[in-house]
Structures are given as structure tokens and as C-alpha cells.
Structure 1
Amino acid sequence: MSHTAPARIAYLAAEYPAVSHTFILREVAALRRLGLEVETCSIRRTDPVHHKGDAEAAEGKRTFHVLNTARNPKALLAAQKPALTQPKTYFSALRRAWSMRAPGIKAALYQLIYFAEATVLARHLQTTGITHLHGHFANASTTVTMLAAELANIPFSFTLHGPSDLTDPARWRLDLKVARAAFVSCISYYARSQAMLAAHPDHWDKLKIIHCGVEPSRYAPAKALNTAPEIVFVGRLAAVKGVRLLFDAFQTARETVPDLRLTLVGDGPDRAALETAAAPLGDAVTFAGYQTQDAVADILARSDMMVLPSFAEGVPVVLMEAMASQIPVIATRVAGVAELVQDGTSGFVLAPGDVDALARAIVTLAQDPARRAIMGKAGRAQVEADFAIDGEAQRLAALFRNTHPDHPRPEGDAF
């Protein structure tokens, strides 16, 4: 059977562009550089705080927003026209949405909402001539992706990340999504293993390793060493990132290296509480808030180490950015982190929640500039070899090009 490249690809995310998901923006840009037409769609319109840079602002303007359209009664009604013109397809997708519901009235209501969103998106896909739909994260937005692709009669695929889309694979019917997808882009071997656990072995060959990636050229090697060692944390200020643990380790480390400084880049629901918790540390801790990609690169270039003591992760792109900046990283041994960071070579990989080990690792790097430099160079080399976005985009583009527009799907409602 001959294979043809999809003429037009659409990407769907729950929120796009978003500060915490710049890897999607990079992936889209890299695919476009390879000559693929990629349209972007988002369930919700993101707040302007997510549009810090020119690229983010431009993407925000060109992205189709499902809920904004669905709030227009005429547009929502028009999206239900296939109930009359293509009843078999329409009601098959509706039955599938209903069959995926979790127990409870609220869960059932959400499935109907996802179906309504899918009808609006499907109409947009057909109007704009989209021939392949790709989602990011395997939870609600990929439920919409799968249903919209069925309504529009086009193939779909999705990227499996973690941790959020791996915490409850039964609820989000990861097995069904893998079965019906043309392929699944797994960001790590860990993510692929969890998909293998959920999916039938007949579909394991669809599970492909495609890393999230960075542009190494964006990140200049760290500059002159600081008199006072600078630690940087980049991420959402949320419980899962372990920032309170970082404060405890930082305070302990300062007993040995009193001039240590810590900058936190990012924002989130825990910021106010974390600012209160950090108050006893005075001006040794700086909250920098959200920053553009270029600003983050500048901060990394002025830092001596990155620390990310998360309790759950996928494969953190911020660690790739730090490694591309030739600074060592300290991270926790969760999910796919050890696939990126080589313990003792490009940084330290520690047991999650071990504040004493975290403090010792910080002190070790703070007191050994030569070791920091060696680790930094090793990290940069690994990112260039395995996590550069252009190489990952080429692999993803090949998957899109090898997906036939008439990709067969399972028939009926067996799933």
C-alpha cells in the first residue's frame, strides 16, 4: 500500500501556547521548518501571561480555540449537522464517548462536554482541510482528539508524557486511545512501558520514542563562575515540584556554603505560600516569575547548577535546557529523568524526598567548580546527541508522512 504525507496536520492541546509547555511550541516550529503544514488548536484560550515572547504571542493569535467557538450557539448547532447528514459516524462517536465515561453523573456530563467540543473541532478540521490530528497528553484533550478524528474521518495520534496522563490510565482509557491511534509518540521509555502496561500487545508496535527537545543553539554555555554559587529552579510553583524540600536542603547547604543563592523561575498555585516559607532565607532566594524562553536562557547562563527535586515528572525539558547551557543538574529519580541525566556524569540523580542527599549534592557542586564544568560539558553533549528538537522533529515528521490518510481503525464499539 502506498503511503502519502498528510497535507495538513492539526495539533490539539488543552491550553496552547502555555509557558509550562513551550516544548509543544518548539515541536510545532521544528515541524514547520521541515515543510509540514501545522495548524494549532487549543481547548481553552490561554491568558496573555503565557504570551511572554513574540513566538508565543503569534501562536496565540493564530490558534483555533474550541471553547470560544462552542460558546456561540449558532456555531455549536452547526457542528451537530452531521447528526442528520452522517448519522452513522455521528452516533458511533457519541456512543464511544458515552462508553468511556467513568462512574458518576459528573463524569458522564464531562463525556458529553468532550463530545460537544469534538463536534466543534471536527467541523473546523473539515472546513480547513486538515487530514491528520495530533494531541498532546493522553487525558481529556486526547479524548477530544480521538472523537474529533472519528467525526472528521481522519487519523489521529498523540504524545504520551506523564505524570498527569499516566496517573489514571483506566479512567482516560489509554488502552482505547492506543488501539485507535495511528501511532503514539512516547517521550521516554518509561512512558512507553506504562502504555504497554495499559494497551493490548497487538498495539505495542505503535508506541514510538520521540523525545521532547530543545534548540541547543539557543543556550550559550554558562559564563564566568560566580563568587557566590547560583542555584536555579525552573518550573511551576506547585506541590509536585518539591520546592519546599528544596528550601530545606538549601538552608542546610548554606550552613556549609553560606553565600549560596537560589532563583526560582516560574509561577503557580503555591507561589504565595512558598514566598512565606522562603521569607526566613531573606534575599538569598529570588522569585523571578514567568520568563520568556530567551530570558530563561540568560538566567541559566548566569547560574552554576539547576535543581529540580520533583516528586513526579515526565522527562523535564527544563533539565535539557540547563544541560544545553553546560551547567550540572540535580534531579530526582522519577519516571524518565534517569534517561536524560546520567548520575555522576551530567549531574546527580537522587531518591525523591531525600532532603539530606539533596543538601549534600548541592554542597558538592557548590564547592567544586571544576567538577561543575566537566559535568556541564557532558550534559551539553548528551542533549546535542539525543534531545535536539530538529532531530526529534525529523523522526516525528517521518511518522506523519508514513501515516496513510485512510488509516484503518477498529470497527464497531468493541472498545
Structure 2
Amino acid sequence: MNNIKTKPIAYLTGEYPRATDTFIQREVAALRALGLPVLTCSVRRTGPEHLVCEEQKSEAAATFYVLSAARPLRLLLSHLSSFLIHPTRYLSALWLAIKTSPGGIRSFLFQLFYFAEAGVLSTYMRKNEVRHLHNHIAKSSCTVAMLASEMSGIPYSFTLHGPDIFFEPEHWRLDEKIARARFVVCISHFCRSQAMVFSHPRYWHKLHIVHCGVYLDRYANTENPMGHNLLFVGRLAPVKGLPILLRALGALVDSFPNIHLSIIGDGPSRVALERQVQSAKLEKHVSFAGYKSQNEVAKALVKADLFVLPSFAEGVPVVLMEAMAASRPVVASRIAGIPELVTHGSSGLLVPPGDPDALTCAIAKVIGNPSRATAMGISGRAQVETAFNLKTEAKRLKTLLDEAGQ
């Protein structure tokens, strides 16, 4: 392969594909549709609960899994070949792993694990003539990407989402990752501002805003919201604020006796949430559906009258884009990048996070006024068409990847 642009890009995440990160899968598909060869790599295999459709099973079968490949002999040969090919780079990557350790024996051992994984990934990329490495989620898998880049000489970039990495940027050495990356994709202005806080101004030119996006035709919907069916889609974890939504639901039952909340997703909080539902006697008003495929989520959005996301911390939730693309009104927390997606009073209502009274009031305002709900849905669809169209955003990302891999 003599033409550099015919050589592939490697895409790395901690786990791929996941039912909770379908936006990465869609982004890969969009880049491939633009003619960019993409090899998907993942540190770990996902559990079978994440492979909810044939598309994800196919992606899993074609993905290179670092830990699965890191058997003792292969691990040893990978590191030996990397050392023999370029000993200076190899030792530089080892020193980088040591100097970016956040401190403590446990963290130091993890850095050595990341270094070991980087050796396996470097060999894979070299054998497949990868010209550029891109990482999603800037935590441990990005550490592996940074070390593999140093070891192999293959440039890397990453997509910065947040919010959790902004809670401990020093631990994950966000400053070093930004300094060494060819470019950094920030999913929102808020995200970029946080990256600017934790990096030197000389690197701010590397920070580019490229939104996550959705395929608009998948969520085409002409039905108007007329009932009291609420929908939540996401991981069942404390950060999503679902106990607040259940409290709001309990306060709405008397005024809206037919109100129903469908919860799509799973996670560590499920048992506690089911107990809360039972304790509040809301069993007839709440259903837990578990993980669903992208097509099943799209069908659920058609049936919903309002999408609710009461999170305590977010980036710019793709599931909100999906709801708006389906012309559903939304109620969400006023945090991080969400106001860049949802215009309060136009495409939805924004409420203070953790405030059940405000959430109750906002939900009542939407489902109690069908004409307003319809107008919000139309406005939301237009917003997504303008700024969160996956095809448009993928072209921007492809341009950055092409320039970085030259």
C-alpha cells in the first residue's frame, strides 16, 4: 500500500461494541461509508448482554481484542519485536508509562499493565500498516493509546467526552495526553473549555469541536405526542439521577393516572431502583426493559410522548439527540453540554439537577399541553438536523483524521 490514505485508521476503546456506546459504532460506520478504512480495537471484550443485535455481533467478531491477544508468548514476542525494531521508542514508552503514573503502588502496577497492552496493540498496528490511532473515552484506553503511539511512532488522537474524567484529570494525565495527541475531538464547547482548563494554552489549537451525531432517517417520526408515556434510556447508574425521576413520577400519578415510565437500559442501580418502585407502589407505572438494540430504541421513541433525562453529570447525551431526531419533546438537567443541544422552552425544558419538584413541574407542563409538546418536538428535530447530523460530523472528523495521518 503506497498511498498513505489507503492505509487504515485504528479505533480503540476500552470495550467495543457496547449497548451503552452505540454512538461509537455509528461513527465507525459513517467513516467507513466515507471511504475511510477503520480497524476496530478494544482492550476488553464486552459481555453478551451488550450484543443485542446482529450488527453488534458482527462488529464484535471483526474487532481486535488486546487482552484476548495478550497471552504470555504473544505478549513477550510483541514486546521483543517492538524493542528490536526501535529500542529508543520502546524505552521512551516505558519511561512515559512510569512518569505519568499518578502515584501509589496500585497505580504504578496499572501503568505497567497499560504498557504491556500497548506493546500488543503496537504490534497489531504495525502488522496492519495502521497510519493513525484514534481513541474514544480519554481514561485507561487512552493511556494505552498514548503509550502505543510512543512505542510505534504511529500518531494518535482521541475524543474527549467527560464528565467523569474532569473529576480527576490529574490522575488520568489529561494534560500529557492532550500535549502528545495530534488533535483532540471535544464533543461540546463545555467539553473544550474543560480541556483548556487542564492543558497548556500552547496546545489549545489542537482542540476541535466535533459533535456526536445521529442518522436522522432512522428516527423519522410524524406522530404527535398525545399521551402520558415517558421514556428514559441509559445506564442504570447513580449518575443518571433516576431516583429523582421516580420521585417526580410518584408526585404526578394523581394528576395523570395513566402516566407510565419505560426504562431502557441496565446497570448497577437496577435492583435499588426496582425496590424504590415497589416501595412507592409504582409497579403499574414503571417498566424495566433492559438493554435494547438501536432499532428497538428508535421504535420506543415513536411510542413515547416525552423523553426524560434527569442526570447529575453528562457530556452531550446522544440519546437526547435521538429523542429530538424522533421529534419527541425532552426534559433534561441543565448541566454541562446539554444546553448546547436543548434550547429551554423551545425544544424542551431544562431543570436544575437533583430537584424533584422542578422535574415534576416540567414534566407536567409538557404532557399536560399536547400542542406545546408537538411544537417542542418539531423544534428539536430541526436543531439536530442543523448541528448533530452524523453524516456532517463524520466528514469533519474524517478531515482531521486524514490530515493527522499524513
TM-score normalized with structure 1 length: 0.95
Query: Any conservation in 2 of the 1:220–1:297 contact (CA below 8 Å)?
Result: no
Shift of 1:4: 6.2
- The Cα shift of 1:25 comes to 0.3
When the two chains are superposed, the root-mean-square deviation of aligned CA atoms in Å is: 1.3
Structure 1 CA distance for aligned equivalents of residues 28 and 4 of structure 2: 20
Q: Confirm whether residue 401 of structure 1 aligns to residue 402 of structure 2.
A: yes
1:87-236 pair list within 5 angstroms:
87-221=87-221, 223=223, 225-226=225-226, 228-236=227-235
- Residue 357 in structure 1 maps to residue 348 in structure 2: no
- Note if 1:282 corresponds to 2:283: yes
How does 1:329-348 map onto structure 2 within 5 Å? 329-348=330-349
**In percent, how many aligned pairs have the same letter?**
49
- Structure 1 position 239, deviation (Å): 0.5
Q: Greater CA deviation, 275-284 or 187-196? A: 275-284
Match of 1:412 in 2: none
Number of the residue aligned with 1:413: none
User: Which whole-Å CA distance do the structure 2 matches of 1:252 and 1:333 have between them?
Assistant: 21
1:380 equivalenced with 2:375 (yes/no): no
Letter in 1 for 2:313: A
Paired residue for 1:259?
258
Q: How far 1:149 sits from its partner (Å)?
A: 1.2
Gaps of 5+ in 1: 406-415
Shift of residue 258, structure 1, vs aligned partner: 1.9
After TM superposition, list the pairs within 5 Å mapping 1:43-58 onto structure 2: 43-58=43-58
* Paired residues of 2:332 and 2:351 also in contact (CA < 8 A): yes
Q: Is the Cα contact below 8 Å between 1:6 and 1:401 reproduced in 2? A: no
Amino acid at match of 1:199: S
Task: Identify the residue that residue 271 of structure 1 maps to in structure 2.
Answer: 270
User: Structure 2 length as normaliser, TM-score?
Assistant: 0.97
Secondary structure of 2:117's counterpart equals helix
5 Å matches for 1:52-91?
52-70=52-70, 72-81=71-80, 82-91=82-91
How far apart, CA to CA, are the structure 2 residues paired with 1:271 and 1:114? 31
The CA deviation at 1:164 is 2.0
Aligned 8 A contact 1:235 1:265 in 2: yes
Q: 1:158 aligns to what SS in structure 2?
A: strand
Unaligned runs of 5+ in 2: none
Provide runs of 4+ in structure 1 moved above 4 Å.
none
> Is the Cα contact below 8 Å between 1:249 and 1:356 reproduced in 2?
yes
- Counterparts of 1:157 and 1:177, CA distance in 2: 9
What are the superposed Cα offsets for residues 159-210 of structure 1, whole Å, 9 maximum, x if unpaired?
Answer: 0001122221111111111111110000001110011011111110100000
Q: Secondary structure at the match of 1:93?
A: helix
For 1:170 and 1:251, locate their aligned partners in 2 and report how far apart those are by CA, in whole Å: 41
Question: How far apart are residue 5 of structure 1 and its match?
Answer: 3.8
Whole-angstrom distance in 1 between the partners of 2:364 and 2:291: 27
The alignment covers a number of residue pairs equal to 401
Give the secondary structure class of the aligned counterpart of 1:392.
helix
